[in-house]
């Protein structure tokens, strides 16, 4: 089970806690977006594969004659894609092997992934449930502490939100294993949202309400969102905010 939030401060920890209310479920926390590095490696090797296409073809058609240009010879694009999928699957399977005993559902949450990373994950685990979580970007940005420093500006934050939400909506339409969740509907105990999450988490409504009732207070403090920042977020995210009822 994979829980992906469009940005920080979208309620992913709350949903993680709801999923973990079932004793046999273990949803781990964030891993700082490491799959983005796997995707970057994949793109680099794919580039070499395309550049070395003629060398690869000539070498193997010549009976592996070493007396030719071989510097960029790299396995085929199809092979590289499969190798990347196997590498990511092996990495995640080993990473989350600890404390696996007694749990029949294993997963993690992340707050940084868009289409590139989620596509790899879907290919690694085609049967995995994929929860796609979104929150009003104005509220998420207001709740994001300056001290965390992952976003340099409201503009960067808005672009991530908008790009990821666009990806999430497309994935939710095309992948029957994907479930789109709005944080506000969960907090408001929207019947359809609650019923879907109860089904996914395999818990009772009482167990879900027990998690919602227990607020975990950390050191996060809301900042004041300036009119300029709000205007930037509305401008960049306007279309998807309207689709989701935030405007």
pLDDT tens for each residue of 77-129: 999 999 999 999 999 999 999 999 999 999 999 999 999 999 999 999 999 99
pLDDT higher than 80, residue 221: no
**In this predicted structure, what is the pLDDT of residue 218?**
60
**In this predicted structure, what is the pLDDT of residue 245?**
97
**In this predicted structure, what is the pLDDT of residue 224?**
82
**In this predicted structure, what is the pLDDT of residue 22?**
98
Which of 111-115, 168-172, 220-224 shows the lowest mean pLDDT across its residues?
A: 220-224
Q: How confident is the model at residue 40 (pLDDT cuts 50, 70, 90)?
A: very high
**In this predicted structure, what is the pLDDT of residue 223?**
73
Helix (H), strand (E), coil (C) string for the chain: CEEEECCCCCCHHHHHHHHCCCCCEEEECCCCCCHHHHHHHHHHHHHHHHHCHHHHHHHHHCCCCCCCCCCCCCCCHHHHHHHHHHHHHHHHHHHCCCCCCCCCEEEEEECCCCHHHHHHHHHHCCCCCEEEEECCHHHHHHHCCHHHCCCCCHHHHHHHHHHHHHHHHHHHHHCCCEEEEEHHHHHCCCHHHHHHHHHHHCCCHHHHHHHHHCCCCCCCCCCCCCHHHHHHHHHHHHHHHHHCCCC
Give ∠ CA 230-133-175 in degrees, rounded to 5: 130
Q: What is the pLDDT of residues 61-73, one digit of tens each?
A: 999 999 999 999 9
Average pLDDT over residues 46-54: 95
Residue with more model confidence, 234 or 215: 234
Mean residue pLDDT across the chain: 95
Q: What is the pLDDT of residues 149-165, one digit of tens each?
A: 888 899 999 999 999 99
Largest pairwise CA distance in the chain: 72
Q: How confident is the model at residue 219 (pLDDT cuts 50, 70, 90)?
A: low
d(CA 212, CA 244): 22
pTM of the model: 0.92
Cβ 68 vs Cβ 62: under 8 Å: yes
Q: Looking at the chain, how many residues does it have?
A: 247
Q: How confident is the model at residue 200 (pLDDT cuts 50, 70, 90)?
A: very high
**In this predicted structure, what is the pLDDT of residue 173?**
96
């Amino acid at each position: 089970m994979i829980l992906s939030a469009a940005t920080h401060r979208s309620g992913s920890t709350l949903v993680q806690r709801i999923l973990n209310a079932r004793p046999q479920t273990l949803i781990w926390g964030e891993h700082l977006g490491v799959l983005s590095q796997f995707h970057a490696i994949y793109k680099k090797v794919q580039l070499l594969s395309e550049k070395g296409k003629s060398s690869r073809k000539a070498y193997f058609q010549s009976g592996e004659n070493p007396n030719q240009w071989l510097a960029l010879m790299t396995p085929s694009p199809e092979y590289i894609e499969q190798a990347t999928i196997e590498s990511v699957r092996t990495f995640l399977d080993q990473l989350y092997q600890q404390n696996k005993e007694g749990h029949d559902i294993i997963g993690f949450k992340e707050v940084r992934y868009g289409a590139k990373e989620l596509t790899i994950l879907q290919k690694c685990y085609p049967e995995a449930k994929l929860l796609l979580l979104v929150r009003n970007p104005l509220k998420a940005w207001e709740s994001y502490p300056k001290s965390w420093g992952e976003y340099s500006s409201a503009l960067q934050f808005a672009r991530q939100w908008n790009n990821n939400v666009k990806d999430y909506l497309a994935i939710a339409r095309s992948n029957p294993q994907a479930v789109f969740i709005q944080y506000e509907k969960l907090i408001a105990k929207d019947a359809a949202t609650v019923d879907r999450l109860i089904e996914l988490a395999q818990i009772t409504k009482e167990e879900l309400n027990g998690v919602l009732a227990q607020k975990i207070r950390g050191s996060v403090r809301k900042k004041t969102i300036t009119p300029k920042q709000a205007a930037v977020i509305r401008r960049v995210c306007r279309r998807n905010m309207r689709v989701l009822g935030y405007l």
